[in-house]
Structure 1
Amino acid sequence: MKTIGMLGGMSWESTVSYYKALNEGVKRSLGGLHSAKICMYSVDFEEIEKLQHQAKWEEAATILSKAAESVEAGGADFLLICTNTMHKIAPEIERAISIPILHIADATASHLQNDNITCVGLLGTQFTMEQGFYKDRLSDHYGIEVLIPESGERKVIHEVIYSELCLGKILEKSREKYLDIITQLHERGAQAIILGCTEIALLVQQQHTFIPLYDTTQIHAQEAIKLAISK
């Protein structure tokens, strides 16, 4: 079995979901007492969050690149950046290491294509929704049209992520806001919705809506399991 490298802690609330999904998936695939071989570096998210909102992406890249080097030195065979937003600096991290990165957008696109989804709504941080590093990868590499919420709705989604979900707060009123935004994206033509922040699935699950949801945390973990147990 290959060793999965994890850059976690962004936030640790969703990193818990990753760790659980990876171990449960390996156990389900291999049986017995099997669990995932993991080498993880968990950062202090306070430091990263400040750099995000100050647009100091180069400084954030330096921190995460050093962390990735530590994960590689610890024996990881490939790397998961356990956050959608910080895939903005995936190219910088990739240059710092010799092991491959399993990109969360590629994993998600593969699932969308398998389900013949050609137009999708994207929820995430404002960085993920508004900048091109994520949605352009889906459209340019996979031909998937990406719709994002309106400006005011993007602010609501972003604020809930940082002021609630990253702090472990799950509020019904926020779920209702998210579900309303999801419905509006569907009415605009989205066949499905990408939960493009690893914390969003803590708030919204498939049981809450008939519109198909693609949980990037679970998808990323599933693809990592396939790679880890492959011959």
Structure 2
Amino acid sequence: MKRIALLGGTSWPSTIEYYTKLNQLINQELGGHHSCPMILYNIDYHEIKSGYANGWNEIPGLLKTEIENILKLNPDGLIICNNTLHKAFDLIKNEMHIQVPVFHIIDLTKTYILENNWQRVLLLGTKFTMEDDFFKQPLIDAGIQVEIPDLHERIEIQEIQSELAKGIITKEYEEYFQKLTNKYVDYDAFILACTELPLAFEKVNSKPVLINTITLQCQKAIEFIIN
């Protein structure tokens, strides 16, 4: 069976979600005692994370080094367990000539929205992801209407995300996102474009579909492994 590499630790609570989801999905497909063949390459996230605010010139190079290290382990496919790092990946992917599939979080999200004929989506993520174009623009170019919460909400979401990334999940965070989904009820779907956000959405009842980008990556990886 093919083996998937996870570039994780970005952050560690959401990396656990990838590990769990991949094992659950392959066992659902194959039954028995099957689990997912994978390499978990857990980086020290501090240097990359510290550059998000004003050190973006260095981040692509740091990510390139980590990807080169993980590819030396000869995986059959690669998952980058982070939404924001796909901005850096897109800046270096052409020069890297990677020979295995990379399950690209934005491409998969775009395809999923188009397949379901959704027209209007709300992008939730870190403040950087919501305000930058790296996630929005490919969707907009495909004819999807992408909107983001207002500034005050973006700041609040960022504060919550920072705590989720430390493994801190509270009832108050769930209640906050329940109120948010109730406010933006007229959208077709919400994109949870931050790998920590699903941790706070597990008990949220939402009329718009919740697009868990972790699930999209893992589903595509499992399809690749077993076919």
The normalised TM-score by structure 1 is: 0.90
Quote the offset at 1:180 in angstroms: 2.4
Letter in 1 for 2:140: S
Amino-acid identity (%) = 36
Quote the offset at 1:220 in angstroms: 1.4
Question: 1: CA distance between counterparts of 2:171 and 2:205?
Answer: 11
Superposition CA RMSD, Å: 1.7
Letter in 1 for 2:216: I
- Report the equivalent of 2:45: 45
Quote the offset at 1:90 in angstroms: 1.4
- Report the equivalent of 1:155: 155
How many residues align? The count is 225
Quote the offset at 1:215 in angstroms: 1.0
- Report the equivalent of 2:214: 217
Quote the offset at 1:93 in angstroms: 4.2
Gap runs ≥5 in structure 2: none
Contact 1:7 1:40 in 2 (8 A): yes
3-state SS of the aligned residue for 1:41?
A: strand
3-state SS of the aligned residue for 1:57?
A: coil
Cα deviation digits, residues 179-208 of structure 1 (max 9, x gap): 222333334xx2111111111110013653
- Report the equivalent of 2:200: 203
Aligned ranges 1:15-30 → 2 under 5 Å: 15-30=15-30
Contact 1:25 1:222 in 2 (8 A): yes
Gap runs ≥5 in structure 1: none
Question: 2: CA distance between counterparts of 1:143 and 1:108?
Answer: 13
- Report the equivalent of 2:67: 68
- Report the equivalent of 1:110: 111
Cα gap change, 1:20/1:29 in structure 2, threshold over 3 Å: closer, same or farther?
Answer: same
- Report the equivalent of 1:56: 55
The normalised TM-score by structure 2 is: 0.92
Pairing 1:139–2:136 present: no
- Report the equivalent of 1:3: 3
Quote the offset at 1:222 in angstroms: 0.8
Quote the offset at 1:47 in angstroms: 2.2
Contact 1:40 1:71 in 2 (8 A): no
3-state SS of the aligned residue for 2:208?
A: coil
